[in-house]
Amino acid sequence: MSDRLQTNLGYTFGRHTLLKHAVTHSSFVHEQKLNASDSNERLEFLGDAVLELCISDFLYHRYPDMSEGDLTKKRAALVCESTLASLARKLAVGDFILLGQGEAAEGGREKDSILSDVFESILGAIFLDGGIEEARALVLRLYEPIADKPGKQANDYKSSLQEILQRKSHETATYTIIDEKGPPHKKIFTAQASHQGKILGVGVGGSKKLAEQAAAKEALGKLKK
């Protein structure tokens, strides 16, 4: 399992436990009665930041004449849930995810939300194992072929909110998961969008990314009023 996934990634781990950690879903942890910290959620948090840095640097140098607003939209399209899930499928990541039986029975290996999260957790694991340059190498290899393709812009409320906020401030909106409910294979997340210490919106979704988009959507509605 580990060798085949590493071949797909084009990266060999020095610490193989990091890769196992990266593909361990919370439903598996719950079913096996492991510690919550044994799931990939912390690595996903790290990988999300690593991906944003690598993509931002990639776009900055690839498109020297592109405006900040257009760079933001381009980045949003490249790191959205559907794009990450598509890349995860190219790497056959779904074959290696450790899932609980309930989640597996409901097609968890093909869910965009799970695939995108595991993609980010693997990137976080590579960063911890080999450093930022190894993480950047994987990002460049995967994104070079798709960077110039039209991105999916529909319903990108986070980018729209950021454009409005940038007219008045250089500070970006921050998103916090303030609640999660339900069994591991059917979690519902609640996200909060804030700016300069002020809560702008709250949203609910079946994944963290969808909850953040819902929070941004509510914030946009309030700002437009």
Q: DSSP per residue over 134-145, as a string? A: HHHHHHHHHHTT
pTM given for the model? 0.77
Residue ranges with strand state E in the chain: 174-181, 188-195, 198-205
Contact 193, 205 (CB under 8 A): no
Choosing from 44, 81, 103, 120, which is the catalytic residue? 120
Choosing from 31, 44, 48, 218, which is the catalytic residue? 48
Looking at the DSSP bridge assignments, the partners of residue 198 are 195
Residue-wise pLDDT for 79-94, tens only, equals 988 899 999 999 999 9
Distance in angstroms (rounded) separating the CA atoms of residues 213 and 12: 35
- Among 3-12, 53-62, 179-188, 191-200, the least confident range: 179-188
Distance in angstroms (rounded) separating the CA atoms of residues 58 and 143: 9
Q: Three-class SS of residue 213?
A: helix
120 flagged as catalytic: yes
2 pLDDT tier (thresholds 50, 70, 90)? confident
Contact 80, 156 (CB under 8 A): yes
Distance in angstroms (rounded) separating the CA atoms of residues 60 and 77: 15
pLDDT at 154: 47
Q: Per-residue pLDDT averaged across 19-40, rounded?
A: 93
* More confident position, 160 or 6: 6
Q: Three-class SS of residue 63?
A: coil
Nearest Cα to Cα of residue 160 among 92, 76, 44: 76
Token pair of 204, please?
């609910």
DSSP state of 108: G
148 flagged as catalytic: no
DSSP state of 111: -
